[in-house]
Structure 1
């Protein structure tokens, strides 16, 4: 095989044209198969709560070929803590490949997000979808747990709120 010759098979021995396209049905099928609870909003976006944090599955791009999983840390931290939160987030980002983490000021509180995006223009296998979901959840939730340790009062308040619901 030459340096610029494209392989005729992809992951798991699939022929390059045999990869199934990314679709909402594949995402919900994955979630159903793993007994995960989720909902679909009016825009067709799939979302749910995992360990008390809201995650969404977005299909982006001209042909909805990009899968982005975005999670939001479900804690209330004042916008005045922006500098400290940026230090936590940037230190985590400096040592890890994913997920991408960022902080936004949302009115008087901080929104802290984790995202992992992959281009599936040529389709994907079930194993790739599993890896994308599992790695995003595990790494995002690890960061959210790290923040819970840094902000124990906010974590306790959020957990108490969940127990009341």
Structure 2
């Protein structure tokens, strides 16, 4: 697929075509969600129930303890203040395991150009990976 200036209504199939073109090796998980995955992270490409929001949500593999959360939140706040995306936050399960999640969202209710969608996907994937590297470096001496 060649990026286009024509307005399109994005869907899973179009996003899969773009990911294929970007050579990002997309797959579908057991729930039918489109994703790309590495040992460090999994990036999902999701559509809101009303079909007007496109979300790129990243689940970072590393798990943190509740004792590490204060240092982790300080780092996430620093990233969020300095970067537009992904916006990152924590999710702590009842067992005390904390995960980091990143979100980037785009309103698509009126459609978007194929060119814009391709650019957004490429940048958001790149920044999801950049965040992982940044956080690893940022916490290297504080948590390890």
* TM exceeding 0.5: yes
Q: Is the 8 Å Cα contact of residues 63 and 97 (structure 2) preserved in structure 1?
A: yes
Question: What residue in structure 1 maps to residue 77 of structure 2?
Answer: 90
Partner of 1:78: 65
Larger radius of gyration: 1
Distance in 1, matches of 2:21 and 2:39, equals 19
Aligned residue number for residue 140 of structure 1: 128
Q: CA deviation at 1:130?
A: 1.4
Task: Label 1:128 to 1:51 Cα distance change in 2 as closer, same or farther (>3 A).
Answer: farther
* 1:120 corresponding residue in structure 2: 108
SS in 2 for 1:25: helix
Q: Tell me the CA shift for residue 100 of structure 1.
A: 1.0
Q: Which runs of 5+ in 2 are unaligned?
A: none
Question: What is the aligned residue count?
Answer: 138
TM-score, normalised to structure 2's length? 0.84
Query: Aligned partners of 1:141 and 1:125: how far apart in 2?
Result: 25
* Larger displacement relative to structure 2 (79-88 or 101-110): 101-110
Which structure's relative contact order is higher, taking Cα pairs within 8 Å and 6+ residues apart? 2
User: Equivalents in 1 of 2:86, 2:24: separation in Å?
Assistant: 21
Q: 1:133 to 1:50 in 2, by over 3 A?
A: farther
> 1:50–1:130: structure 2 CA closer, same or farther, 3 Å change rule?
farther
Specify which structure has the higher proportion of strand.
2
